[in-house]
Each structure stands twice: as C-alpha cells, then as structure tokens.
C-alpha cells in the first residue's frame, strides 16, 4: 500500500507541469517556444499595455503566488510595480536571486546605458540601459537558451527537450532574420523617427537608426519647441517615416508628418498580442519590416 502511495506521489511530481508567469507577452511567447507542453505559461502585462505603467493589482499577486518560475525583463522596465507584486505574492520561490526568478536583462549587453552622473533631469530614464531588447530577434533567440537552462534546473528530466526547443527556435528566427534584413536594406531607408526609444534594438539589428524621438525626453510628452526641431531634422535629413508604438497616441506624429513633405506615420504593435494579428514575435518583426517596406 505504501509503495502504491509513493508511486502515485512520484508520478504526480514527475508529470506536474511547471507554472510559469512572465511579465510581458514577448517573454511569454519565448518561454512557450522553449517549454511547449511542459509548462503552463501566463503573463501579467497585456500586449496592448505600456509595460512602464502597470499597476500592482493584487490579482497579479494571486497569480504569482502559484508560480514555480517568474521570468521578467529586468533593466528596470518593471521597477514601478514588480517589487510590490513579488512581496505581496508571499511566494519565496520567486524572490530575487532565487532559482524561481529569471531576469533576462542580466544576459543582455544593453544599449543606451547612462553614466552614473545621469539624473532624472533627463526624463524617466533607465540608468542600466534600454530595456526593450525583446525587439531584437537575434537577442531573443539567444535568450531562449538561458530560459532552457533555467527550466532544466527546475525540471532536469526534460533538459534535452528544452535545449532542443531553444535550438529549433534559434534556427527558425535566424533564417527569417536574414530575409527581414535583406528586405529592409532594399528600401534604402537608413533613418526613421520613433515615439520612444522602444525600437532601438530592432533598428540597430536592421542597420537603421532613430536620430531623434517624438518625446523630448523618456516619459515626457513632446513640447512645441522639440517638435519644431524634429521637423527641421526630418526635412534636412530627408526622413520620411515615423513609427509610433500603438499604445501611444499618433496625433502628434501626424501633425509633424503634415509639416514634412512625403512623410508618413505608421502605428505599429511592438509586442506580441498588441494587435489581434500579432500572435507571435515573428508576426511583430514581420509587421515592422512591412511598415518600413511600405514607405
């Protein structure tokens, strides 16, 4: 009888799925590619929400209480709400530096890092660097291996499966990336304007750049003086494309575009599920490439 009970308990443990909570939909999608059916993966921030401005709703604490693993972005993207959610969840497994909390930002060489002398006079800055690395297809594919490593620690029996999933994902993304980059290069576009610095990693990977943003400083709505400077720059550098994250209001961008002959505004989703047609990271990258091609 005891053997039967032990067998049942062992079986339950072996086949119990890991419960994983991610902060953003991009991370949720990546974790699902690696864990497949070996985990239940849910997310806190909706694809249509700006992850900088999430409220620490107690219902998220209930979700985190049940988590075996929390996968967060890091680089201070969630600093305004995640610490309180972790504390309120009363789940010691997901405390900082525990195996149940994986912060992806630690593995990334961040863009736009600021010197220690930076102050908030620069706006709502991230001193550790730009946290929007999930918009770089190559970085996301590399992070797949870090997720596979952590999943293997928590579920060693499936180590081989997780590694193989990470490799498959990387191969898939790398082949698509070459096609995306080739299409972008054919457009001959080298500079675009974006609302926030959220597309910097994507632009760099595609050998594009954003010399100025619509917002004067991070988190600070644009002033009239800043917009005039932007219009002058677009005219002098012949920049004809403004990409606006679809959770920002595109009205300001449209006013600017109206002052620059031939300029267009494209409202783009920058995360998985930010639009009903963007169900995968590949859909997000494809949509960004199309937005540049269609100019």
Partner 1 sequence: MQFHFLLLVLLLSLPLQAQQIKNLNAGINTLLLYQSSNRGNSALSEVRNGLDLQETELQFTADVDPDWKLSSFFAVKKEVEVDTSVIPKTRTEEFIFEPEEVFAETLSLNRVTLKFGKFKAAFGNHNKFHTHAFPFIDAPLIQQNLLGEEGLNDNGASAAILIPANWYSEVTLQVLSGQSEGLNYFKSNSANQNVQLLQLKNLWDLTDDTTIELTGSGANGKNTADRTTNLLGAYLTLKWRKDKSKSLTWNTEVMERQNNQASDELGTGIASYVQYQVSQRWWLQARGEYLKIKNQDLTNLEPLPSTQKKYSALVGYIPSEFSALRLQYDHLEDGSDSPEQKLMLQMNFSIGAHPAHQY
**Which residue in the set 6, 83, 99, 122 belongs to the binding site for partner 1 (CB under 8 A)?**
83
Residue 169 engages partner 1 in binding (rule: CB under 8 A) = no
Does the protein bind partner 1 through residue 81 (CB under 8 A)?
yes
Q: Is 99 in the site for partner 1 (CB under 8 A)?
A: no
Judged by CB under 8 A, the residue of 25, 72, 91, 155 near partner 1 is: 91
How many residues belong to the site for partner 1 (CB under 8 A)?
35
Structural Rg of the chain based on CA atoms: 21
In the list 19, 65, 114, 154, the residue contacting partner 1 (rule: CB under 8 A) is 65
* Residue 228 contacts partner 1 per CB under 8 A: no
Strand, coil or helix: 264: strand
Among 19, 36, 40, 50, binds partner 1 (CB under 8 A): 50
Answer yes or no whether residue 180 interacts with partner 1 by CB under 8 A: no
Consecutive H or E run containing 96: none
Strand partners of residue 71: 22, 102
The angle that helices 137-154 and 159-186 make with each other, rounded to 10 degrees, is 170
Distance CA 276, CA 89 (A): 31
Q: CB count, 10 Å around CB of 190?
A: 15
Q: Is 221 in the site for partner 1 (CB under 8 A)?
A: yes
Q: How far apart are CA 2 and CA 278, in angstroms?
A: 51
CA 196/CA 190 separation, integer angstroms:
18
Chain positions contacting partner 1, by CB under 8 A: 46, 49-50, 52-53, 55-59, 61-62, 65, 76, 79-84, 87-92, 95-96, 116, 120, 124, 219-221, 247
């Amino acid at each position: 009888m005891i053997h039967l009970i032990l067998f049942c308990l062992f079986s339950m443990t072996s086949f119990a799925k890991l419960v994983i909570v991610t902060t953003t939909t991009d991370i949720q999608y990546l974790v699902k590619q690696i864990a497949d059916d070996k985990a239940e993966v849910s997310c806190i921030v909706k694809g249509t929400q700006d992850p900088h401005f999430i409220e620490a709703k107690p219902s998220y604490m209930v979700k985190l209480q049940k988590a075996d693993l929390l996968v967060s972005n890091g680089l201070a993207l969630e600093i305004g709400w995640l610490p309180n959610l972790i504390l309120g969840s009363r789940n010691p497994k997901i405390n900082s530096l525990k195996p149940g909390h994986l912060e992806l930002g630690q593995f990334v060489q961040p863009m736009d890092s600021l010197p220690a002398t930076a102050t908030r006079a620069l706006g709502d800055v991230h001193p550790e660097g730009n946290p929007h690395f999930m918009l770089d297809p190559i970085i996301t594919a590399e992070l797949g291996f870090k997720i596979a490593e952590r999943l293997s620690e928590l579920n060693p029996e499936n180590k081989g499966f997780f590694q193989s999933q990470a490799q498959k994902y990387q191969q898939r993304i790398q082949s698509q990336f070459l096609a995306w980059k080739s299409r972008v290069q054919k457009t001959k576009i080298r500079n675009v304007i974006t609302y926030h610095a959220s597309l910097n990693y994507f632009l760099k990977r595609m050998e594009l750049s954003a010399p100025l943003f619509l917002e004067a400083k991070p988190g600070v709505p644009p002033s009239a003086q800043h917009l005039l400077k932007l219009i002058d720059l677009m005219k002098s550098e012949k920049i004809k494309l403004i990409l606006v994250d679809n959770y920002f209001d595109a009205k300001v961008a449209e006013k600017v575009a109206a002052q620059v002959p031939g300029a267009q505004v494209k409202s783009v989703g920058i995360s998985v599920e930010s639009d009903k047609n963007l169900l995968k990271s590949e859909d997000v990258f494809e949509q960004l490439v199309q937005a540049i091609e269609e100019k």
